[in-house]
Structures are given as C-alpha cells and as structure tokens.
Chain A
C-alpha cells in the first residue's frame, strides 16, 4: 500500500492548507426559471493544495520516494486528510461502520457538550469487556491521535482503543475530552479506533475523532465519509523542490481524489 508520508513532527501537512470539493449537478432550466436537477455523486472530486517548508533530508526522501513509486499521477495512494476527522459517522455510532460487540447497548439522543443531543450512551451490561470501534484503511505504523468527549455518572474510567494500544482514561460526571496519541510498531494496513467498557459500566460519548497527527485538533463532525482517501493521486507529473540550505527544503504540491478513476 502506498501512502502519503508524515513529517517527522507526525503531521501530514503544514499551514496553510487548502481543500476544495467539487460535485457535478446537471441542471435543465426552463425559460421561466424553474430548474430540474440531477446529481452525479460518482463525479465528486476532492483536492488539496499543500505547502511544505523547512523539510529535512528524511522528510524529503520519503516524499520523493512516494512520488517516484507512484510515478507522478499514474498510481493511487492513500492520503489521510490533515484537516479532517478520519472516522466516518462521527455522531452516529449506530451506523454499520461502527463495530459494536454483541450486547453492547447504544442509546442515541443524549445531551452533548456542544449544547446539542448528538451524544450516545454506551452501556456494557455483561461481565466481559466490550468494545465499540471503527476500522480505517490506513497504515497502522503512522502517528495517530484518538480523541473523544466522555462522561459518566457511575463509571470512573473508559478505555481508548488505538490499534493495538489501549489506554485507560479517567472520567467524571463532567464532560472531559480524552485523547490517546502515539505511533505503533504494527505493520497492518488498517487500524481501529474506539472505546472499550469495563463490565457493568455506562459512559456517554461524543465527538469520536481520529487524526493522523500527534495531538488532537478541534472536533470535526463527519458523515458517510471520513478523511481517509484511498484513491488519491498527485495532480501533476512534476514535483519541484527548492533547496534553501543544507537539509532545508520546500515544495508545493496538489493532491486529488477522484473516485471514478
């Protein structure tokens, strides 16, 4: 699996980052101004413009290695959106992308820390530890940060799952944003994120977010797609690198994800 490398800081991009989404709508307009519209969801395109400065030798080598391996815009690679939540359906844990262990209870419509009712109450009525997790198609060896809001009136801890790593985090009746970050030595081509509940515990959760970086950024809501793009390509066949000094490089590049290619 080809994938876009992270910088040594663990970040995938540097500011400023520009992202553009394009859709295709066919419109038939009558002379009176009425419109008949037809959507073409398969034609959706997502583009990023990334600017890198002060890259070192290793960072440049990783970028060049990818560019050469995929031969410019020829071959797709996996790109983890640096400005998005990698998990899909971040506020609907009853969707199929979330794998809940049997007997784990999920109750929607719970008050969330943003003033809405998008939180879920997750309960484990059994005598075994149960998990709620989502798997994404991305290298497990990268830096990731899992973050979520949690609270509980009864339980005092919840387990955060980040691939093969599980971190116990203390919770209270107040909403607290928890996070688990780091890099794993796994070589798997997918990684799971989620929570595990001790037997008998009940926890309210909201805003589960995974990012390919070392710390959590502000929570970003997602729906059917998260920030994992497995069909991304370089937009151009050229990669221009400017050397501004020893082990100091900069470059700008465009990445495009087109599902129908």
Chain B
C-alpha cells in the first residue's frame, strides 16, 4: 500500500502526471506514414514531490522503498487526480533519497509507474 501523508493526502502541489503511449511510425519514400501501436493501452506515471515532511512520514516512504526493493515490487496506486485504482504499479527508480533540512523539514521525490498487465 502506497504511504499517505499524515493529512491523508498522497501528493502535494506541484504534482505531475504523465500519460505514455508507444507508437511506431514508418515513413515511406513518398512521404506517407503508417503508424501502429506498440503497446495496447496508455500507461500512467506520477511524479510525487513532497516537502515539509516529518521524520515519521519520511520513514514510511523509506520502508516502502526497502520493502519494494526499488523498482522490483508492485503495488496498487490510487490516482490522486480521479481516484482510479491502478492495481499494478511500481516505483520508477532504483534509488530513493531524502534531505532533512531541519526537524519536520524533509523533502523527497518519488515516481510511480503503471506496469503493463
């Protein structure tokens, strides 16, 4: 289960969501093109940028990263934009870092990617 902040929110502003199609385009000598789908559907990716976190919230994200072993694990993620549950998602990277500037002044960035199922 993806951790939520103490406010109950998943993310903070500015939040970013990316939609990813994968289209192949063949261009012929006469300039015409033929396009076709490489993937069967769109994939979603969320960049979760968090600031002013306290140590407990950071620890929850850290444990989540460790338990998922980076990009390896999968989990369900609820899109904070529309509440849609995506049952097969992974962290986007094999590294997770945070900076603690002072007490309750932590910041971090995570990326969540939807996996093809």
Contacts and interface: CB of A to CB of B under 8 A. Distances in A.
Interface stretch (B26-34, B44-52, B61-69, B79-87): B61-69
Contacts of A41: 69
Contacts, number: 97
Nearest to A30: B116
B100 to A, nearest CB: 5
Given A34-B116, A223-B63, A23 B99 contact: no
B115 interface: yes
Interface in A199-226: 217-225
B5 interface: no
Interface in A6-22: 15-22
A246 interface: no
A205 to B, nearest CB: 17
Contacts of B56: 218-221
Nearest to B98: A19
Given A15-B101, A21-B96, A219-B56, A39 B69 contact: yes
Interface residues of A, number: 34
Contacts of A18: 97-100
Interface string A105-123: 0000000000000000000
Contacts of B54: 218
Contact of B100 (A32, A83, A225): A83
Interface in A31-63: 31-35, 37-39, 41, 44
B40 interface: yes
Contact of A221 (B38, B63, B69): B63
23 contacts: A15-B100, A15-B102, A21-B95, A22-B70, A23-B69, A23-B70, A23-B94, A24-B94, A25-B69, A25-B70, A32-B116, A33-B40, A34-B116, A39-B69, A217-B55, A218-B54, A218-B56, A220-B59, A221-B59, A222-B63, A223-B66, A223-B67, A224-B66
Nearest to B104: A218
Given A83-B55, A220-B56, A221-B63, A33 B99 contact: no
Contacts of A35: 115-116
A56 to B, nearest CB: 22
Nearest to B97: A20
Given A15-B105, A16-B101, A20-B96, 16 more contacts: A16-B100, A16-B102, A17-B99, A17-B100, A18-B99, A20-B95, A21-B65, A27-B71, A35-B115, A83-B55, A85-B59, A220-B56, A222-B63, A223-B66, A224-B66, A225-B66
A157 interface: no
B38 to A, nearest CB: 6
Nearest to B94: A23
B72 A23 contact: yes
B116 A22 contact: no
B72 A39 contact: yes
A16 B99 contact: yes
A248 B78 CA distance: 50
Interface in A74-98: 83-85
B60 A221 contact: yes
